[in-house]
Structure 1
Amino acid sequence: MRIFAACLALIFSASISAFEHFSITRDWQTIEGQYSKVTYPKTREKEALHALASADNVLPQLSDYLSWTPFDKVEIVLSDQSSSANGYATPFPYNRSVLFLALPSGVSELQDYDNWLDLLILHEMTHIIHLDKTRDAASYPRYIFGRNIFSFPNIFLSTFFKEGLATYAETSLDKNVGRGQSAYYDMVMRTEVESGLLPLGKIQQSTRDWPFNKSYSYGVKFYQFLESKYGPDSIPRYVEATSGRLIPFLVDGPAKFATFSDGLKELWAEYLTWLEL
């Protein structure tokens, strides 16, 4: 087990350090709330207090929605050393999210927001709850071997399932925020309908082909399709099903459980038909 852990550390250490974008030599402070902890540069106390309040507000709501509460508080790091309006979240080795404080600039798909930090936190905390969730037989490896990468069944989902859910969660039609209601994404999907919608296999591939960020554009519309055709409860049912898979690459079971379709291939065909309407 020690050799195995060392190999995993070597594999992931380079990629993890490449995404950190903050210096450990700065003066860091940590504040703690009921559901989260925020670590931040000393000069960013105002943003840290806002982030803590925002995370502590959305985490219990997401836990209720997806029927899962992390065992420990979520660790959040605020970084002001990147010009990228972005962030990321991971449940391994513990629930942790790094948020870049830069605002979206220029014309981009991220323009539809009210408060950028609130929207970013909602997106990343959705990832935390979704990726940390496990149940039934899929939870046994975590209880036996601890928090290792193979004890998080939703990590192995295709990117469009993960990013689509978080983008769906960030979207509010009432407040006109989030990419799921943006004019840009509507334009992208209208263009896709005109030029020919992509099959499931293409969506699951990481390519540089148009549309850029197709995991987000196709992904959020997929969850909106589930809500429209099968009801809002179909989404947490889908997450419930994928969170209980001991073998993560069996994709038909969750589709059948959440929508009573014959499988993911058939469900995708229904989705493409829905997009064309």
Structure 2
Amino acid sequence: MGSMMYLGMYTPTILAGEPVALNKGGQQWLMQQSQHFIVHFRSELVQYAAHSLDIAEKVHQDLASQFSQMPTDKTHLTLVDDYDHFNGWATPLSSAQILLNLHSPSDINNSEGNDDGLHTLIRHEYTHIVHMELNDRAVTRARDIFDRQILFFSHALTPSRLLEGVAIYVESKNERDYGRLYDSHFAMQMRM
């Protein structure tokens, strides 16, 4: 289990792309970290933090065998339960960030049939990060000089259908045979 820190009250600014910029005023944010991830969460989601880090580290290890390079900096995971859907998003700007909405899947959305929806969600969103972080040495040097600008993330400019296609394929390519490609609802949609 990672170490835990108290972040106190957090007041985001419009110009800063902070990983916990989801403050609703006066909320207590905490942080835990592992070797490759930092998870940010409000105190009522503490039970998900260590579990999310464990899953993320396993996903990192698995994806390292599938991709030629992995992110060098820690990826920030932000846990929320503010929306009535189970989903997430990922961006490499201004740091590698993933938002995970932990609302339990209940509708038919291709995540309810999985053994562990959180695992699939983390695997999917982290695949986006790994994919968008891919680069060569010249780009790495440019990022070191000019910071994390969108022009130095060529895969982030890839059409979203291709980004999603890679993530869906990778989320389903695992030893437990789950993910959207193994879901019966998804198969029915493809038949239709």
Residue 75 of structure 1 aligns with which residue? 76
Give the strand-richer structure, 1 or 2.
Answer: 2
Question: What are the Cα deviations for residues 14-52 of structure 1, in whole angstroms up to 9, with x where unaligned?
Answer: 9x89xx765353111101101101111112211111001
1:183 deviates by 2.0
1:177 aligns with 2:178: yes
| Inter-CA distance 52–65: structure 2 relative to 1 (3 Å threshold) | same
1:58–1:122 Cα contact (<8 Å) kept: yes
Q: How does 1:214-233 map to 2 (within 5 A)?
A: none
Which ranges of structure 1 fall in alignment gaps of 5 or more residues?
A: 1-12, 192-277
Larger Rg: 1
TM superposition score normalised by structure 2: 0.81
Q: Distance in 2 between matches of 1:96 and 1:47?
A: 17
Q: Distance in 1 between matches of 2:23 and 2:106?
A: 21
1:127–1:166 Cα contact (<8 Å) kept: yes
Q: Distance in 2 between matches of 1:70 and 1:124?
A: 13
1:181 deviates by 1.7
Q: Which has the higher contact order (CA 8 A, sep 6+)?
A: 2
Q: Distance in 2 between matches of 1:131 and 1:38?
A: 20
Q: Distance in 2 between matches of 1:112 and 1:174?
A: 16
Q: How does 1:1-277 map to 2 (within 5 A)?
A: 23=24, 25-172=26-173, 175-191=176-192
1:131–1:152 Cα contact (<8 Å) kept: yes
| Inter-CA distance 52–174: structure 2 relative to 1 (3 Å threshold) | closer
| Inter-CA distance 47–122: structure 2 relative to 1 (3 Å threshold) | same
Residue 230 of structure 1 aligns with which residue? none
- Runs in 1 of length 4+ with deviation above 6 angstroms? none
The CA RMSD over aligned residues, in Å, is 2.3
TM superposition score normalised by structure 1: 0.58
Q: Which stretch of structure 1 is more off in the superposition, 21-30 or 48-57?
A: 21-30
Q: Distance in 1 between matches of 2:70 and 2:176?
A: 27
